[in-house]
Structure 1
Amino acid sequence: MFKNRIDAGRRLADVIDDHDVEADVVLAIPRGGLPVGRAVADGLGVPLDIVSARKLGAPWNPELAIGAVASDGTVWLNESLIGEVGVGNAYIEEQIEREREAAEGKVERYRGDRPPLELRGKTVLVVDDGIATGATTIACVRQVKNAGADRVIVAVPVAPPATVERLYDEADEVICVETPPYFAAVGQFYDSFQQVTDEEARTYLRADEADGGGESDQE
């Protein structure tokens, strides 16, 4: 479906433009969302920053998201799943604190000394390379709303229809290039889906970058 993340970002920017969205800021979810976000920000002519959240995994299966927490401590919990599997409050609180620190550390590592962009009163695009369950995306959307954004739009190259519907409960709009009904993982929709390194991730945030850094063609 997509050659690589830069290709996906450019195609996403075209779809966003077709929706007549006048965005003020693009916030990418690192690391995989950064090359996509860079292409979107460049295509729309708006600044790029990051927003980070971490999944809260179940005790016996870290990949099963019982919730997520953003770097500012904003939390989303899957209450129905928590009740179904019987996860205790002590475990949840421990996970929230640990994963919040990890999300905060990621922001500091990639943003460095740059101050965060002002979001109050702005139309903000939250961008990733794709969404599976939407847990971390929901936490990110809530953080952006808490920061005073006037409108929050989730924009991604690919996500399953059920996840898109779930995100409409949180975001003002969801823009998705493709919504395939058969969805196993985000990477299946990319010809090249190599991991984004920390150094590469930082290059996408440099204010003078005009085309997603020098490594985009190697993805």
Structure 2
Amino acid sequence: MTGTIYLGGGGSEDEEANLWTEAFRPGSHITVWPFAHRALADRQSAGRWISCALERFDPSHIDIWTSPESRVHSDLGAMDIIAIPGGNTFDLLDTLKSSGLLLALRAFLNRGGHVYGGSAGAILMGHDIDIALKADPNDVGLQDTTGMGLLGEADVLPHYTEELLDIARAHHAKSGRSVLCLPEPSGVVVKGGIIRNVGPEPVNIITSTATTTYEMGATWPIGLH
């Protein structure tokens, strides 16, 4: 992967301001994929919310995709960054797989594109999305929950608080995969095999036996844990 991914903890645009400032540069062409929602009305609502939130970053254009089937052959080369906000992670992965957009997203990143993932969008970038079962119902009956795998063997847990520590530890004990835990007011940038915490809050890598904390500004290589 030669592109850059921006992973948000699921907070508001104000809470994730450090991350959004890096991800959404003035003059950018931003495409929004609100596919973590199944219903069209919910996709439209999510698209309107993030579009309004992005206006402060002075984008040149915001394009909201609500129907993946009609856009799968669109030219992704014209985009600067794809924004994938939250919702149901299983709906998101199922829609991207069934439409062919998951492969298109990987190709976009391999060509040097940028992707922002918040909440469900952040979970998607990990090795597997099965960690989302604690919060999201798998109503679509998704059997293969393999994610993008852009963090080595790690999975992503947004909205992290200390109350979720046992869930993260149990997940590692069962899966063998470490968990990147992102509090809502936090974000990390992943590029060139390196993860960087842009803050403002610390982020944790959790296994069944250890917690490693990275403060704002810290960097570490993918696969370290």
If the length of structure 2 is used for normalisation, what is the TM-score?
0.35
Which structure has greater helix proportion? Answer: 1
